[in-house]
């Protein structure tokens, strides 16, 4: 998980002014969206399909993504998979990640299916959703990295350690399985809060991922320099 803000808010509790919690409202919004989609599908009307040759203006699951001036999804390697913007690391990025993971005794096979998507999809688990809405700028579940739409384009350009950090989390997830991966986060968040260091400061997984990401990014930056 990568946090793009220094202060990580916890999910809000119910208040007299807000009878439902933040999490409850998210579930209600998702349920309403599914109902609308089902009605549209049953009406016999053809669902609008994004044009892969144009700049992205996503109207499916994720909010709209603003592409940088002069860039296009195709130039960045972003493709539509099932109508959803998806980025998969290129050969060089995969090689750097795999070599680092293998040399440090971490699983690497999941890198072949690693993908970055803007926003959450129906496969996102409850822990993933809590992390995503609790301040995580990017959250990894298995071989999928869920990135906040406003950060998506910057992240998939691999111009920072962030995507490498999430790739390392995918290896942690592969090594421990879902339950094993989430357990240190629960304990670490509690420990961080009790120690006054913040939600994610007590999680060893974050420290390992952060250090690994910096090393991978340095290697990747050197490889890009040699290619020029």
Which of helix, strand or coil describes residue 136? strand
In the predicted model, is pLDDT for residue 154 greater than 70? yes
Q: How many residues does the chain have?
A: 228
State the pTM of this model: 0.66
- Confidence bin at 70 (pLDDT 50/70/90): very low
Distance CA 174, CA 87 (A): 20
Six token digits for residue 64: 């709209």
Interacting residues of 127 by C-beta distance below 8 A, sequence separation 6+:
178, 182, 185
Q: What angle do CA 63, 174, 8 make, to 5 degrees?
A: 45
In the predicted model, is pLDDT for residue 206 greater than 70? yes
Distance CA 87, CA 78 (A): 5
């Amino acid at each position: 998980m990568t946090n793009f803000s220094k202060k990580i808010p916890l999910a809000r509790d119910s208040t007299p002014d807000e009878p439902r919690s933040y999490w409850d409202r998210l579930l209600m919004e998702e349920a309403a969206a599914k109902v609308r989609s089902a009605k549209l599908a049953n009406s016999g009307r053809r669902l609008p399909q994004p044009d892969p040759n144009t700049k992205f203006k996503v109207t499916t699951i994720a909010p709209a993504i603003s592409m940088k001036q002069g860039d296009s999804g195709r130039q960045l390697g972003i493709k539509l998979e099932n109508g959803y913007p998806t980025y998969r690391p290129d050969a060089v990025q995969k090689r750097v990640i795999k070599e680092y993971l293998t040399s440090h005794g971490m699983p690497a096979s999941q890198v072949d299916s690693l993908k970055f998507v803007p926003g959450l999809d129906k496969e996102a688990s409850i822990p993933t959703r809590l992390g995503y809405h609790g301040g995580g700028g990017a959250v990894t579940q298995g071989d999928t990295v869920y990135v906040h739409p406003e950060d998506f384009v910057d992240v998939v350009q691999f111009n920072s350690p962030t995507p490498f950090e999430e790739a390392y989390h995918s290896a942690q997830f592969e090594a421990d399985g879902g339950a094993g991966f989430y357990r240190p986060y629960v304990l670490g968040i509690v420990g961080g809060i009790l120690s006054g260091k913040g939600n994610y400061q007590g999680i060893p997984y974050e420290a390992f991922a952060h250090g690994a990401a910096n090393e991978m990014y340095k290697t990747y930056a050197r490889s890009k320099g040699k290619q020029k």
